Amino acid sequence: MKKFLILFLTICFSVLVFAQNVPPADWSHKVVKKEVKVGGVIEVVYNAVIPSGMHVYSNDYGDCPPQKAVFLFEKNGTYELVGKAKPIGSHRYIDDVFECEVADFENKAEFRQKIKILSANPKISGILEYQMCTADGMCVQHEYEFNVAGLKVIASANDPKIEPVKTVEPEVEPEVEPEEPELLYTSFDGSCSTCDSVVISKIDELLGRSGAAAATKFGNVVKKNEVDYSSYQAKSDGDTTTCVAKTFEGETSEEKASYWGFFILAFLSGLAALLTPCVFPMIPMTVSFFMKDGSKAKARKNGLIYGISIIVIYVLIGTVVAATAGEAAANFLSTHWLPNVFFFLIFVIFAASFFGAFEITLPSWIVNKADQQADKGGLTGIFFMAFTIVLVSFSCTGPIVGSILVEAAGGKFLKPLVGMFGFSLAFAIPFTLFAIFPSWLNNLPKSGGWLNSVKVVLGFLELAFGLKFLSVADQTYHWGLLDREIYIGLWIIIFTLMGLYLLGKIKFSHDSDIPYVKVPRLLMAIATFGFVVYLVPGLVGAPLKALAGYLPPMSTHDFNIVQKIVNPNEITQGHAGIKPKYNEKLHLPDGLKGYFDYEQGMEVARQVGKPVFLDFTGHGCVNCRDIEASVWSDSRVHKYLAEDFVVISLYVDDKELKLPEDEWFFNKEGKLITTLAKKNGNLQKCLFGANAQPQYALLDNRGNLLQPTRSYKFSKNKENYIGFLKAGKKEYKKRMTAEKLKG
């Protein structure tokens, strides 16, 4: 048992840090046969070493959202591709989230491309674009540039001389000035009551066709003090200046809402621990010890010291957790199957202990040592007396304290401290109060079988919450064991059994006989069965938003007859009637309004006077869909996004949408950017120093951060997310007020 406890505490003393700038796979290429005649065929082999825990999607599957590997060869007349790149050893399976077949590689990847040589001096180069994802659905887009060199081409005198195909520059139509510039006002704030329909339609046309920048060609119809949002772009093809990531140095939301919620949960856990058979009988015994010398003043003083000592001991445990783990702990804790399955088994063991199968106890020598120190008296004696009660009650409080520490694993530095303070405060208050007011002891209920009933109810709760950890492992590794409807079904069974137990229909070995059901048990049974009734519609697809943080995502639900059908042809409308670019192909969930082009969205935000919610996402991003389904669907989050922000969703993995030629640009690595996906990926990497999705940024309408950016791990907690949005809105109002005061 001692080794078991050490192992458990060691696992609990780790916290997640989720890196957002994910390095690429290690690619290389080689030619199988380097000597070839003109007209002959060579084979180029592309190999990759894939980072542990990641997988790279192949190119040999059908129409499924995860982005396939794509080889983009620079076209010229010196060679000719023979078929497409062939993957070697890819793994094919049905993706549980997207419900279609995909193929990928783990650990290593290999592609082979056959190429026919048409010239004595072939120029073969290109880019491999690929999507790399973790097991839990976090995906990044990467590129591998290659140049096939070192070929020895044998040409005869009779071989035709084939010149490279010349690139023909497209003709650019001259810009046409507006025929009626007098219709265009010098200012437009999105609510122009005096503007006629011609003006509104003209602005709509301009912003819809070529973004906010096009409006400057027509006499500055937006505002005179235009803002440059293109700092992520190079000024020319030779500009290789360093990208400067946006930073925020104001007051952050952190996780205040989460800490309060966690504190309340820990406090309630402390109260529950008081009602266990190991603790409740100790209250009058301990208070009587303080009262034995007859001095009420001394008893009150000692009782206060005793309570403070209990708090200090538990907070010290939290301090050890925070100091040992902190933010530098291994990131596999929240996603790897091993710790999550371990935590699940821990909760099952705790539940079995509460059901009466066995008791979890500390070695007797630890308790005896603490008891010997308590006999010395004085402040030291009182402290060790508190330590003794902590150790003696471990068989009942251990599972509860352990559950709090497991919940704190993956949190920030303060979370274990907050949890232990909340638990110990509730645990210490009765001992202190009864020492100060000993007459209250007469009103305490007598010990009896009801205390064991409290333990059994806690066992049911431990079993239910333990499923959360098994669910995490199941989702990240796509085992398909615990889909949403199965998870809900197990909860229905667990809480139905708990209700039957409260009514006396089920009995455990340590339970006393129940001749009749008392009112408190009846009320608890009614509440339990009411919760079961709430769960039942979830079996057929009801969202059960109150439990979104504990249930698997809706995407794992196989039998969903409630899910609303969204018309894919529906055009997403933006703000102030300004039509979003690319809205024929891209859409926002749950009827949200927004934009899909950074410059257009920022300019619209400036017009309507709202801050910006920047969403870096992807079609094949599992975690993005998870946040949208479990967090964005919350009515509070939805209200913020719909009413207080301009949403800009930037897809980094789209393969169809091209930028208009007048919007092509060079990035600060000297590469020409011609597609929407590459523009968005470059923007994220340059301005926010990351390449993983989802990533969320709150900006004012001049492009400055209102809060530090947030990633998937933070966003899973709805209270964190709401605090993030609320703090961003508050910071925006503060800045706008300061601007008005300046004139």
| Residues 275 and 427 sit within 8 Å (Cβ to Cβ) | no
Give the model confidence (pLDDT) of 244-288 as tens digits.
888 776 655 554 445 677 788 888 888 877 776 556 556 666 666
Is the pLDDT score of 210 beyond 50? no
Least confident of 1-10, 24-33, 79-88, 690-699: 1-10
pLDDT score for 350: 77
User: What is the mean predicted confidence (pLDDT) over 112-122?
Assistant: 91
Q: Which two tokens stand for residue 691?
A: 């390449």
Name the residue with higher pLDDT: 505 or 633: 505
Q: How far apart are CA 698 and CA 473, in angstroms?
A: 31
pLDDT of 134 above 80: no
Q: Residue for token digits 């497209």?
A: 170
600: left (phi over 0), alpha (psi -120 to 50) or beta: alpha
Give the pLDDT confidence score for residue 683 in this predicted structure: 92
Give the SS3 label for residue 90: coil
The pLDDT tens digits of the residues spanning 669-681 come to 888 899 998 999 9
Report in angstroms the alpha-carbon separations of 523 from 43, 57, 263, 519.
Answer: 75, 54, 26, 6
Please give the residue that has the higher pLDDT: either 326 or 511.
511
Write the pLDDT tens digit of every residue in 215-241. 333 233 333 345 778 888 888 777 777
Strands 710-711 and 594-595: unpaired
DSSP state string for 253-283: -TTHHHHHHHHHHHHHHHHHHHTSTTTTTHH
Residues with Cβ < 8 Å from 680, sequence gap 6 or more? Answer: 598, 616, 650, 651, 652
CB 491, CB 534: distance < 8 Å: no
Angstrom CA distances, 742 to 249, 335, 475, 702, 735, stand at 21, 49, 52, 17, 11
> Mind listing the pLDDT tens digit for each residue in 442-484?
666 665 666 678 778 888 988 888 888 788 777 656 677 888 8
The dihedrals phi and psi of 304, each to the nearest 5 degrees, come to -65, -45
Rounded to an integer, the average pLDDT of 114-124 is 90
Beta-sheet strand order (sheet of 710-711): 594-595, 646-651, 612-617, 695-699, 710-711
Helix or strand (DSSP H, E) at 727: helix 718-742
CA 502 to CA 514: how far, in whole Å?
10
Helix (H, G, I), strand (E, B) or coil at 241: coil
Q: pLDDT tens-digit profile of 25-52?
A: 899 999 988 888 888 899 999 999 998 8
Nearest alpha carbon to residue 502 among 444, 460, 448, 446: 460
pLDDT, the chain, mean: 75
Nearest to 411 by CA among 268, 553, 259, 263: 259
How sure is the predictor about 503, in pLDDT bands with cuts at 50, 70 and 90?
A: very high
Tokens representing 283? 């209250």
Residue 217 buriedness (CB in 10 A; 0-12 / 13-18 / 19+): middle
DSSP 94-126: EETTTTEEEEEEESEEEEEEEEEE-SSS--EEE
CA distance 543 to 361: 41
Residues β-bridged to residue 613: 647, 698
Facing residues of 26 across strands?
A: 49
417-434 per-position pLDDT tens digit: 787 888 888 878 887 777
Q: H or E stretch including 310? A: helix 296-325
Could you tell me which of 458, 278, 272, 450 has the C-alpha nearest to residue 352?
458
pLDDT of 590 > 50? The answer is yes
DSSP string spanning 458-487? HHHHHHHHHHHHHHHHHHHHT--SS-HHHH
| 304 has a pLDDT exceeding 50 | yes
Total residues belonging to the chain: 743
Q: Is the CB of residue 387 less than 8 Å from the CB of residue 368?
A: no
The confidence band for 624, taking pLDDT boundaries of 50, 70 and 90, is confident
Residues in contact with 375: Cβ distance below 8 Å, sequence separation at least 6, in sequence order: 381
590: its two tokens = 């749950």
Q: How many helices (H) and strands (E) does the chain have?
A: 19, 20
Burial 311-334 (b: 16+ CB within 10 A, else e): bbbbbebbeebbeebeeebebebb
pLDDT above 90 covers a percentage of the chain that reads 20
Q: How far is CA 35 from CA 78, 111, 149, in A?
A: 16, 21, 12
Residue 388 Cα distances to 312, 371, 393, angstroms: 13, 6, 8
The pLDDT value recorded for residue 727 is: 92
Domains of the chain in sequence order: 1-23+266-474 (no CATH), 32-154 (2.60.40.1250), 483-563 (no CATH), 575-742 (3.40.30.10)
- DSSP-assigned letter for residue 175: P
- DSSP-H helix ranges across 141-280: 197-210, 256-274
